[in-house]
Amino acid sequence: MLRRLRAARPGADGQAGTTRVRLIGGAFVAALVVAAIALGVVLTSTSSKPPATTGAAGVPAGSHPASLDHIQYVRLFESTVIGKTRISSLGRWPTPYQSYHDQYGHSCFEWWDKPNDLFNLCFTAKGLLWAKVVE
């Protein structure tokens, strides 16, 4: 008799109840995702902080010194070490005269210390100094 009662009840085999729980759980997760996206959009659009702008090599714009004299260029250049200096150190340099990619795909930067020298620094994709040249 107990078997007949179980068989007569809807969802007695356990699958209908499991499906209902899965549907409710899925709807709950979907509602959470929609709420999180909406919250992110609201927070982003109401933020009073302006977006960060970046200059050459990902260095924040405006953080470069305006200009350097010849001695400052030489000291900065001499302080760079191949294989150790990171591209983030470009923030200590003025805005480059020119930036380009060499034949190996390295990010290279040039500073023209008129009328003295042309300083070149090239960095690997990992951001390490690969080459430095004074012309």
CATH of the domain at 95: 3.30.1450
Is residue 3 predicted with pLDDT exceeding 50? yes
Contact 108, 122 (CB under 8 A): yes
38 in the same domain as 9: yes
Prediction pTM value = 0.53
pLDDT tens string 111-121: 998 888 999 99
The answer to the question of residue 40 being in a domain is yes
- Neighbour count for residue 132 (Cβ, 10 Å): 15
- Long-range CB contact pairs, 41-45, < 8 A, 24+: none
> By residue range, what is the domain housing residue 16?
2-45
Q: Considering only CA atoms, which of 129, 111, 3 is closest in space to residue 120? A: 111
The answer to the question of residue 51 being in a domain is no
Token pair in block for residue 89: 């150190």
Higher pLDDT, 30 or 69: 69
118 in the same domain as 72: yes
pLDDT tens string 91-107: 999 989 899 999 999 99
